[in-house]
Chain A
Amino acid sequence: MAFEGLTSKLSEVFKKLTSRGKLSEQDVKAAMREVKMALLEADVNFLVVKKFIKTVSERAVGSEILESLTPGQQVIKVVNEELTNLMGSTVSKLTVASAPPSVYMLVGLQGAGKTTMAGKLAGYLKKQGKNPLLCACDIYRPAAIQQLKVLGEKLEIPVFEEGQKDAVKTALHGVQYAKDNGHDAVLLDTAGRLHIDTELMDELKRMKKAVDPHEILLVVDSMTGQDAVNVAQSFHDTLEISGVILTKLDGDTRGGAALSVKAVTGQPIKFAGVGEKLTDIEPFYPERMASRILGM
């Protein structure tokens, strides 16, 4: 990528400094300009960037960063630490209902990767010895049900569907079917929708009320730009999501959306989609993501 590493940019900034000792406000400002650019280049939302820069600046001003031989590295260390903090410092897991089945509802914008992720999660749970059920609640997209069925066949995991009639009823009946047939986990694949589509957002609200899902997971395309905050905010306001899943991280995007989404919802990023195959799922590692966003 044409992107010049933040490390080298920062060392440029610090080369120009003559005095050594505590970092002045001016020094920090110059360095933070580079950090700000890097984060914006990485698609972190600019309001999130502003807030972040303020936090890091406060920590950096007056610190002994310049005593070090490589002040640029030191600033990056601080930035990296704060980024990792913001993103949650541990790997988060799926939580399990005390009384099975655990119901997981996947929601998000069109084309984010929900259906694929429903398949991946079902496969992941099966590998852990669970007996999952896939439930086709996307009654709108052409061939969405068929898509989930193909995935179910590949995974040898059953798919519950009731055609394109009623998404909420399908979910309700799917959960009942799971109870009746000894499935301990249900993955609800929902239709992609815009966060500003009140009618479809209301459908999700009704689905949540009907099945009381154990987790509501917002699936987010890692290539998303500035709009990620609006999307995450709306979905969270409407549904109180319990976690985020980031998809398509096998690409070369820097993935600043991860930071934006985490910052506005406060909910952990639980998994990463890293390919089109059903086994291409990984736990989400916050510190790796921090480095990736910084382009390192």
Chain B
Amino acid sequence: SYYREIDDEFYEELEEILVYADVGVATTGEIIERLRARVDQEKLGDTAKIREYLSEILMGMVGTDGELELPSPSIILVVGVNGVGKTTAIGKMAHYYKSEGRKVMLGAADTFRAAASEQLTIWSERAGVPIVKHGEGADPAAVVFDAISSAKARGCDLLICDTAGRLHNKKNLMEELKKIGRVVDREYGGAHREVFLVLDATTGQNAIAQAKIFKEAVNVTGIILTKLDGTAKGGVVIAVKNELNVPVRFIGVGEGMEDLQVFDPKAFVEALLQEKA
């Protein structure tokens, strides 16, 4: 190949692709800077090669984690803001892990939203796993307490607990979540614990604040990125991963039970860089 000037306009186009994918201006700036440095250093003029480097940078940022290991027994707490897809993701995970031959149980600790436990009950029936629930308005920490006792008694491999959607800027609701975390510490210290934050791919830069504050409150250990079956790219997880180093574990690609996939950084980055038709 021959050397040719890679101009500002070229970089601007790449920048736009990233911003359009919700990567955010700050992280986009950082990515382009790294790309420029590498291109200048290697005196690259081949745009296809440069795009390849861009993919590499993005993949390095979003996915250098090992596989998720869930020894028996494990508990997964699922948290996030309102309407992102927590309950649905739990239904899908229940199915996923049950298909792997695990003994799964669900805890319906969203006692707040109208018909939340009915919704999770339908998912438990679809997946064919037991569920522990209380009435609307019950103390969510008490549900988790009961679910843990029940999981222990039945010798479950995996307990997955739903929680009510809550905006991260609601102090009292975040305190309630911490309380649930303490119940798990106290009652299920012997279990491996994961806390999955569900992020909606259509969400913009607010996802960064969500991740920060949920991580501070309950030590988030993984991310589930939902609704990637739409046209949103979910690029904000790159910024989230970059700032907080929390691995993305699963993606949601629909409303059906099978619409959950283990996160694949390469496929994610490829889809992200694909320009609009």
Contact = CB atoms under 8 A, between A and B. Distances in A.
B200 interface: yes
Given A46-B19, A196-B230, A226-B21, A150 B83 contact: no
Interface string B245-267: 00000000001000000000000
Interface string B11-25: 000001001111011
Interface in B182-229: 200, 202-207, 209, 227, 229
A113 B82 contact: yes
Nearest to A40: B25
Nearest to B227: A110
B209 A252 contact: yes
A144 B83 CA distance: 13
Contacts of A141: 119, 255
B273 interface: no
A143 B229 contact: no
Nearest to A253: B206
Contacts of B119: 141-143, 146-147
B19 A226 contact: yes
B: interface residue count bin: 35 or more
Interface in A33-86: 37, 40-43, 46
Contacts, number: 137
B275 interface: no
B244 interface: no
Contacts of A148: 114
A182 interface: no
Contacts of A196: 230-231
B202 A224 contact: yes
Interface in A219-247: 221, 223-228, 230-231
B217 to A, nearest CB: 15
A224 B16 contact: no
A146 B230 contact: no
Contacts of A112: 83
Interface in A192-207: 194-196
B236 interface: yes
Interface string A1-24: 100000000000000000000000
Nearest to A145: B115
Given A142-B122, A226-B21, A227-B202, A111 B84 contact: yes
Contact of A147 (B114, B207, B232): B114
A257 interface: yes
Contacts of B230: 109, 194-196, 227, 231
Given A41-B24, A143-B122, A226 B204 contact: yes
B123 interface: yes
A151 interface: yes
A146 B25 CA distance: 42
Contacts of B112: 276
A111 B82 contact: yes
A270 interface: no
B149 interface: no
Contacts of A254: 205-206
Contacts of A124: none
B63 interface: no
Contacts of A195: 230-231
B81 interface: yes
A109 B81 contact: no
Given A40-B25, A143-B115, A109 B202 contact: yes
Contact of B20 (A46, A194, A221, A257): A46
A221 B114 contact: no
B232 A276 contact: no
